[in-house]
Structure 1
Amino acid sequence: MNALPSDERPVVIAYSQGRKAARGRHEIETQLELARQIAALMGASFAGEFDPARQYPANRYLIPDDTLDSHDARRLGLASERNLYGGVVPFPFVGTKVVVHGLPPGAHEAPEGWASGFGERVSGIVLPGFSAFTRGDAHAAASLLWRDGAVRLKRPSGIGGTGQAVVADRAALDAQLDDIGEEALRAEGVVLERDLQDIETLSVGRACLGGLEASYYGVQRLTTNNHGHQVYGGSDLVVVRGGFDALSCIDMPAEAQTAIEQSRAFDEAVSDTFDGFFASRRNYDVGSGTDARGQTYRGVLEQSWRIGGASGAEIGALKALRDDPAVRIVRASTTEIYGANAAVPADACVYYHGIDPHAGEITKYCTVDG
């Protein structure tokens, strides 16, 4: 990638949408470091965190911490996927988990922009479930799903398995809904989905950055955090130069091929249904597992059109592809280790090491194998 004259280089900016108080310090610093790496990859300057009082040049490139809606994108001067590492949706709900499922039969409420046909179109590539925006609709959805076992409740913006609970009866559901609150339920909704055991998750994604395009599939790993809980521990990705078509052409296990097909179908459904959607970073989690009756399911669990846990590997892979145009496939991994004395490979790129006030000591790094 040839360097641009300084007056033509984009300015890279990290954008947090004003929700820092709800995020861990390690998440904020990880976003900043990955934004620095993106700026270096693009041959751009890095302007730090977004400051609404500052004047930025028109040639700007944002790294948001969440999916943006069209209103914010226009305000920030973002017209296409070439302007950000992430995505833009026409309505806020499209960027959350609630878009994955349709409403229960006879639902009484839905947000502005809701497209009933979308849920029908993707019903065969997602797990059995519904989205709801009122208590009554949540009960109707759960009652249908309880016929075949326990139900998993998901809050719309939970990350890494947070904001979820298994609800086996009406009392458990009401307790969760009480905690959410009526106002938040109507504004953001909730997902009720078939609860699966021994679930395995594959990730499928596509990243476009500075004229480079790569697609991947991979697996997620769990680790134990400083509080003894199982949390996200990293991703192992197989990354190919090009889009989803190129990815589908390489040798891979059958379950990975199925995950790619389901992710592509979901991605196409979003693009076809929601005018104004665009994204340079697309990541889809596809889960498989069995329910209480032993029935096996596989489907798209959620989408991520923002910087995420696998982004360190995405950026590392894009750099490897940029550095050697002859390379077609690389393997890239991210690893998150909690506690002191983390063993880090000599060739790793560390993008966070520190002591978070809440999470404790964490080390995050990426490795790339060409």
Structure 2
Amino acid sequence: MPESPPLREGVALLDVRHDAPEHERRVHHWLGEHIAALLDTPFLADRQDSATRARYFIPNDTLIGRGQARELGIRSDADFFGGMVAEPFMATKAITHPLPGPSAHAPPGWSEGFFHLAGRAVLSGYSAFNIDDAMQAGIRLLLSGPVRVKPVRATAGRGQCRVTDENQLREAVAAQDLDEIATWGLVLEEHLDDVLTYSVGQVQVAGITASYFGTQGLTEDNGGVSVYGGSELLVARGGWKDLLDLAGDEPVYLAIEQARAYEQAAQACFPGFLASRRNYDIAQGINARGHLRSGVLEQSWRIGGASAAEILAIEAFATDPQLTCIRAATVERYGAGFEIPGGAALLYQGDDAEVGPISKFARVEPYGVA
């Protein structure tokens, strides 16, 4: 008789980005343990056959294409924590802006319709997939003020630069990797001052939907560079409408509406898009003309810096069915000797080979606690 396929059970990590640093891998392991507990199934961290036995997956990056997902049995957003798109650029901030002109190079799967649907939810900018198009885009944007050049796969604010004239633009564009631009794209966007960045997102795990808004903090890394330092979130049980009910002022309400419009445009324009974890960064600041501007900078359809806070909130909702909102936070600090507060969930503390000494933790607090 033919051998029966293995019974699918448990949660497995899916390593689709093989260069993830140790501190991120440790956080992913923590997430695996906690999501498995929510699903009441084993965490298959150390099993050699975890990919064939698992019924739920946690990829460490956005899944590209349907092939691998189909082989693993991923058919809906209930089968994994993260997101899936058809083409590489769809997983990055390159979708945020239009091309600089009708003759600009467009990668397979490019949608002109996305910007028509999401245009009011984003800042002024362009996406480019070669050097000539990037220069054209940058020169056009410089007419209105400084421009931010943004490699689309850089994280935590790294790799970006502000340019104020054509010579600086040419230097910044020339420094980019041509193959990287051709596959993933390059974003050129109006520069804002006095920026406040909101995080708006939604996660679905174990039949529970949680939506949130909050702000991101900055900290200095071990080289003195200002980078992502954590997120402070207010998390609501339920969908976007439940979250809007918690929006206390107009800027927050606008950020939530822009995130929702951006997501709806993606759902309409990118066939095969699936996501159980969606996060959107919305910047509000002042442009060169002194106008207040607000727009989605980028999406994250994968594990992110706030994911541990998201899962702690889901756990709280699972424990107390009457709970409707909670505060949650993640914190990242560089350097040795950082003291983890009591009651916090330690995610990682050590000397990472890539970034040096770093401490990462998450916590939840009742709504109403400052």
- Alpha-carbon distance between aligned partners in 2 of 1:249 and 1:321, rounded to the nearest angstrom: 18
Q: Does 1:178 pair with 2:177?
A: no
Residue matched to 2:105: 109
SS of corresponding position for 2:337:
coil
Tell me by how many angstroms 1:41 deviates. Answer: 2.1
Instruction: Tell me the equivalent position of 2:3.
Output: none
Separation in 1, partners of 2:8, 2:86:
29
Q: Is the 8 A contact 1:16 1:50 kept in 2?
A: no
Q: Which amino acid aligns with 2:208?
A: L
Q: Deviations over 1:232-275 (max 9, x none)?
A: 11111100111112111225222111100110111111111112
- Tell me whether 1:338 sits opposite 2:334 in the alignment: yes
Letter in 2 for 1:280: S
User: d(CA) in 1 for partners of 2:51 and 2:269?
Assistant: 35
Aligned to 1:99: 95
1:39 aligns with 2:36: yes
2:287 is aligned with 1:291: yes
Separation of aligned partners in 1, 2:47 and 2:275: 20
Structure 1, residues 295-331: CA drift from partner, whole Å, max 9, x if none? Answer: 2210001000101011111011010111111111101
In structure 1, the gaps of 5 or more residues are: 1-6
Which runs of structure 2 are paired with 1:115-134 in the superposition (5 Å)? 115-134=111-130
Q: 2:44 is paired with a residue of what secondary structure?
A: strand
Q: CA RMSD in A?
A: 1.9
Are the structure 2 counterparts of residues 105 and 55 from structure 1 closer, same or farther at C-alpha, using a change threshold of 3 Å? Answer: closer
Q: Is the 8 A contact 1:34 1:312 kept in 2?
A: yes
1:351 aligned residue: 347
1:1-370 aligned at under 5 Å gives the runs 10-20=9-19, 23-48=20-45, 56-57=52-53, 59-71=54-66, 72-370=68-366
Equivalent residue pairs, number: 360
Q: In 1, are the aligned partners of 2:8 and 2:52 still within 8 Å (CA)? A: no
Measure, in 2, the Cα distance between the counterparts of 1:139 and 1:55.
Answer: 44
Work out the CA distance in 1 between the residues paired with 2:136 and 2:119.
18
Distance in 1 between residues matched to 2:234 and 2:189, nearest whole Å: 29
CA distance 1:100–1:125, shift in 2 (3 Å)? same
Runs ≥4 residues deviating over 6 A: none
Alpha carbons 1:201, 1:287 under 8 Å: kept: yes
Partner AA of 1:191 in structure 2? V
> When the two structures are superposed, what TM-score results if normalisation uses the length of structure 2?
0.92
Distance verdict in 2 for CA 1:344–1:182, change over 3 Å = closer
Could you tell me how far 1:18 is from its partner in structure 2? 4.5
> Partners of 2:42 and 2:8 in 1: how far apart?
7
Gaps of 5+ in 2: 1-5
After TM superposition, the structure 1 stretch with the greater mean CA deviation from structure 2, 218-227 or 263-272, is 218-227
Distance 2:161 2:321 in 1: 46
Query: CA–CA distance in 2 between the matches of 1:127 and 1:108?
Result: 20
Contact 1:126 1:299 in 2 (8 A): yes
Q: 1:15 touches 1:49 (CA, 8 Å); kept in 2?
A: no
Percent identical residues: 41
TM-score (norm 1): 0.92
Q: Secondary structure at the match of 1:312?
A: helix
Whether the aligned pair in 1 keeps the contact of 2:88 and 2:183 (CA below 8 Å) is: no
Gap change, CA 1:49 and 1:142, over 3 Å in 2 = farther
- Contact 2:10/2:55, CA 8 A, preserved across alignment: yes
Q: CA deviation at 1:341?
A: 2.5
Cα drift, residue 340 of structure 1 = 2.5
Q: Distance in 1 between matches of 2:8 and 2:199?
A: 32
